[in-house]
Structure 1
Amino acid sequence: MTMFRYFPGHDGWSYHFAARIVNVCQMGGADFHRCHRVAERIAVGDGDSWFREWNAAGEEREATAAAELARGRPITAREAYLHAHNYFRTAQFFLPGSDPRKAAAYLRCVDCFHAALPFFDNPPERVTFPFEGSHLSGYYWRPLGAARQRHAAIAYLGGVDIISEELWFFAARQMLERGFGVLCFDGPGMGEPLRVRGVHARPDYEVAISAAVDYLVARPDVDAQKIALVGQSMGGYYGGRGAAMEPRLRAAILWGACYDMLDDIYDFWPAVRPQIEWVIGATSEADARDKLKAFTLKGVLKNAKCPVMVTHGEDDTLVAVQAAHKTYADLPEPKHLRIWTGAEGGGIHLMNDNRTDAVPYMLDWLREEVDRPRAATVFP
């Protein structure tokens, strides 16, 4: 594992601290030194201690934000609300889906994110769009400057444990800087659909992605000929389905591949099994194995009509790097494979040990592919 193990003997905790919390600090969503103090108070291996300390940190920042806002200091309040959001998100992370504290902390983290939004320089729209008699929801961020008039757009989604709000701290800001509008949304098995409405993940994820593309095409400020897709982590599976089955996409990035969920995640990283079982609505390991047989890209990727980048860390301990090679092999041209090494940085899951290089690499490729002249797509 090419990163610092903050909690020796607990790679899941160490990964979350180094990859998720420290990277969020770099993007203004937390304070490293406060996080260090919180981590020092946690009894290693005690899940209740993890929840208790991060939840307390969230409560302290939430109270600070409210007090600063009452004093007429919105920028200070925004920062504190964003920190509270991430501390509440971190608190609930390792709780089982059946624990009522998980949903409560999730709702609190979303409330803090919403409280911060009015004080952004470029606040997003909170959006919903139709999905099979109900809806999906997320945020639409418009680019700054002249690109606001009519712009390319990205449908952006996470994976097994990433919520749409967190995508702001992963890459949404860098997408905006490159002139993209960005739809960060929660699909089935994610965020609000899972935690509030019990909507589980499904193998035919292209249905949810097509609903997001429908939303983007209908926006008058979006250039319908320049819609791209980015799926990260288990979103590498979801995005693979979308790239293969949604013909309106101009280009796609699978940021962390997942060719077969049973082989590449469930059996490769046993610690994640309870989370995946919750996400797909399985009642047991046997039920999960049966359901996961359908979560495969085998025989699907050959239908892709747009350029696809597959990118992965060679030392990924969460999703097997072989998933990237299998995904790439099944894709038709044009396609691009980038495996990041530990020596250069970027060897771990989602290149979280070197987002500084990996995110620009991906998004610059995407911008160039979206802008490359091609015959216009005729929509039915």
Structure 2
Amino acid sequence: MARDEFVQSAIDNWAPRFISNGVDANDFQRVTNSIEHWDDWCQKWSECGAIHEQLGEKAEAQGLYESAAYHYFHAAISYHFGKYLFVRKPHELRVAHEHVVHNYQRALPFFDFPGEHVTFAYEGDAKMYGVLRKPWHTPKPPVVIFIPGLDSVKEELHI
């Protein structure tokens, strides 16, 4: 398969970041092997995210909450890396981002360290949004505030 230079560059440069932030190596191989043109990048990763989203829904319906968390997280991270620096099709980017937030939100209560979305007042009327995760067995755990860089999102920094 002849890939365009954007796809090949993404694969060559981003593989370690994707894998270290939770993309399953098998998903990475399968999805990237199916992409020839950069314009297909977000769509192919979104298809992978949709598979994990469906698996999460099935696991949750069966009361398999740890599995549901795993699949919802993998859905979120697949959608995230599908939209990652994908600015040619803003509508696809926005839809993928909505799926990132939705799936990570669905996973939060099922993680070993459950999480919740929080909102902080900032300058003027501005607000900052975050995810608070804390061990269920520690009444007053220490807190670390971590702010990702411009090209990251909270959901990417889960692991």
**Cross-structure match for 1:187:** none
CA apart distance, 1:118 = 1.2
**Cross-structure match for 1:217:** none
Distance 1:135 1:97, change over 3 A: farther
Verify the 8 A CA contact 2:104 2:155 in the aligned structure 1: yes
**Cross-structure match for 2:26:** 33
Distance 1:106 1:135, change over 3 A: same
Query: Secondary structure in 1 aligned to 2:144?
Result: strand
CA apart distance, 1:66 = 0.8
**Cross-structure match for 2:158:** 168
Distance 1:145 1:126, change over 3 A: same
Bigger RCO (CA 8 Å, 6+ sep): 2
Distance 1:125 1:70, change over 3 A: closer
Report the AA paired with residue 33 of structure 2: E
**Cross-structure match for 2:149:** 159
Q: Distance in 2 between matches of 1:30 and 1:134?
A: 33
What does residue range 271-290 of structure 1 map to in structure 2 within 5 Å? none
What does residue range 1-380 of structure 1 map to in structure 2 within 5 Å? 10-16=8-14, 18-24=15-21, 29-43=22-36, 46-96=37-87, 99-131=90-122, 132-143=124-135, 148-149=139-140, 151=142, 153-169=143-159
Q: Which has the larger radius of gyration?
A: 1
CA apart distance, 1:41 = 0.6
CA apart distance, 1:111 = 0.6
Moved runs in structure 1, 4+ residues, more than 3 A? 7-13, 143-146
What TM-score do the two structures reach when normalised by structure 2? 0.85
Distance 1:51 1:68, change over 3 A: same
Query: Secondary structure in 2 aligned to 1:139?
Result: strand
Q: Distance in 2 between matches of 1:49 and 1:150?
A: 44
CA apart distance, 1:140 = 1.7
Distance 1:53 1:98, change over 3 A: closer
Verify the 8 A CA contact 1:65 1:80 in the aligned structure 2: yes
Q: Distance in 2 between matches of 1:39 and 1:112?
A: 22
Query: Secondary structure in 2 aligned to 1:155?
Result: coil
Report the AA paired with residue 59 of structure 1: A
What TM-score do the two structures reach when normalised by structure 1? 0.38
Q: Distance in 2 between matches of 1:70 and 1:141?
A: 24
Query: Secondary structure in 2 aligned to 1:166?
Result: helix
Report the AA paired with residue 135 of structure 1: K
- Over the aligned positions, Cα root-mean-square deviation in angstroms equals 2.3
Q: Distance in 1 between matches of 2:152 and 2:75?
A: 17
Q: Distance in 1 between matches of 2:10 and 2:28?
A: 17
Verify the 8 A CA contact 1:30 1:82 in the aligned structure 2: no
CA apart distance, 1:135 = 1.1
Distance 1:71 1:15, change over 3 A: same
Q: Distance in 2 between matches of 1:113 and 1:95?
A: 20
- Equivalent residue pairs, number: 154
CA apart distance, 1:115 = 0.6
Structure with the higher helix share, 1 or 2: 2
